[in-house]
């Protein structure tokens, strides 16, 4: 049983660090996808993360645990990393980092739906209201920003928004899966196994779609930061939070990361955020907070 004392300083520090790292991932994916392409960006991200994490697992003597649980950790890597990373990398070819990060805030909404359908965790009336409000915010945002007419590069913002929402659904599924099937497993093992599984799943698409022109140094540096910091380090933090405070509360990191993403986008990419985007973002966050039962934070 956890009380409000769970909100101690180390926990809050890890939470904010994770939000900052994942907020920067949209910037690095934006840079990488424009030179590597969507699938190679996702593939390189998980390959770099795997190379970073695997030696740590072996040096700590956790290799046998990874070997015993490789099927489950590899599976969650496909659902929690390979598919979402490819979706967001594709989306960032036609929408801004701020918009994609705001859509990412719907992850707890999908997490609540998954728990309802799969784990039979029926929400109360207040949480159902939160789901309705949250998805209404998504509909308002999509109505304003999404268009299925192709732009000059042949892409459309409508498919980009759909890709972001598919990624969020995958995150919601994997959070409940990790808590249900991987509870008690060290976060480093789960993070490493998931990235290895994602790397295996994305190896062929990455090789097949590798760019003919060698990307420049900024794109390579972005991929290095994306793999080591935003994936390797971040997923160790994330799975540790799931183990310590549960999937619903851990997923609320998506409320905070859009703030970091918008700041990074404004500073480094000169992106602008409209009042309508901010309004829809507030509606999504409020609805998600209700659906995640955050107004009854203690147990």
pLDDT tens across 95-125, in order? 999 899 989 988 888 888 888 887 777 778 8
240: pLDDT strictly greater than 90: no
| Closest by CA position to 48, among listed 189, 229, 181, 170 | 229
Which residues lie closer than 8 Å to 76 by C-beta, 6 or more apart? 174, 177, 178, 182, 190, 193, 194, 197
In a domain, 140, yes or no: yes
Look at the chain and count its residues.
299
Rg (CA), the chain: 18
In a domain, 257, yes or no: yes
What is the overall mean pLDDT for the chain? 87
Name the domain count of the chain.
1
In a domain, 2, yes or no: no
In a domain, 5, yes or no: no
The pLDDT confidence band at residue 232, using thresholds 50, 70 and 90, is very high
Which residues lie closer than 8 Å to 217 by C-beta, 6 or more apart? none
299: pLDDT strictly greater than 60: no
Is the torsion defined by CA of 163, 71, 177, 114 positive or negative? positive
Structure tokens at 223: 């991929």
What Å distances lie between residue 169 and 30, 59, 107, 163, 228, CA to CA?
21, 34, 7, 10, 24
Mean pLDDT: which of 35-44, 102-111, 150-159, 174-183 is highest? 35-44
- Residue 297 is classified by DSSP as -
Predicted local distance difference test score (pLDDT) of residue 210: 97
Average pLDDT over residues 49-71: 96
In a domain, 286, yes or no: yes
In a domain, 173, yes or no: yes
Rounded CA gap, 250 and 242, in Å?
A: 6
Q: Is 146 left (phi over 0), alpha (psi -120 to 50) or beta?
A: beta
Greater confidence (124 vs 191) lies with 191
174: pLDDT strictly greater than 50: yes
Average pLDDT over residues 218-245: 91
In a domain, 4, yes or no: no
| Closest by CA position to 32, among listed 20, 22, 40 | 40
In a domain, 131, yes or no: yes
């Amino acid at each position: 049983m956890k009380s409000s004392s769970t909100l101690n300083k180390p926990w809050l520090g890890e939470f904010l660090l994770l939000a900052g790292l994942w907020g920067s991932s949209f910037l690095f994916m934006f840079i990488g996808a424009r030179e590597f392409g969507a699938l190679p960006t996702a593939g390189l991200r998980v390959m770099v993360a795997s190379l970073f994490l695997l030696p740590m697992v072996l040096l700590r003597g956790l290799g046998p645990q990874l070997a015993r649980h490789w099927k489950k950790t590899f599976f969650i890597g496909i659902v929690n990393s390979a598919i979402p990373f490819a979706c967001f990398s594709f989306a960032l070819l036609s929408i801004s980092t701020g918009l994609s990060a705001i859509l990412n805030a719907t992850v707890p909404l999908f997490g609540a739906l998954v728990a309802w359908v799969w784990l039979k965790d029926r929400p109360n009336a207040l949480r159902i209201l939160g789901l309705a409000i949250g998805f209404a915010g998504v509909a308002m945002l999509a109505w304003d920003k999404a268009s299925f007419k192709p732009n000059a590069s042949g892409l459309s913002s409508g498919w980009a928004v759909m890709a972001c929402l598919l990624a969020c659904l995958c995150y919601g599924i994997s959070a409940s899966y990790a808590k249900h099937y991987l509870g008690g497993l060290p976060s480093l093992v789960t993070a490493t196994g998931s990235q290895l599984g994602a790397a295996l799943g994305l190896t062929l698409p990455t090789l097949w779609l590798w760019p003919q022109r060698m990307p420049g140094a900024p794109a390579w540096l972005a991929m290095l930061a994306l793999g080591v910091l935003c994936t390797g380090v971040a997923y160790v933090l994330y799975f540790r939070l799931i183990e310590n405070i549960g999937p619903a509360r851990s997923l609320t990191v998506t409320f905070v990361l859009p703030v970091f993403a918008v700041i990074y986008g404004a500073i480094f990419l000169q992106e602008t955020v409209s009042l309508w985007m901010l309004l829809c973002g507030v509606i999504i966050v409020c609805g998600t907070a209700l659906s995640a039962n955050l107004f009854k934070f203690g147990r």
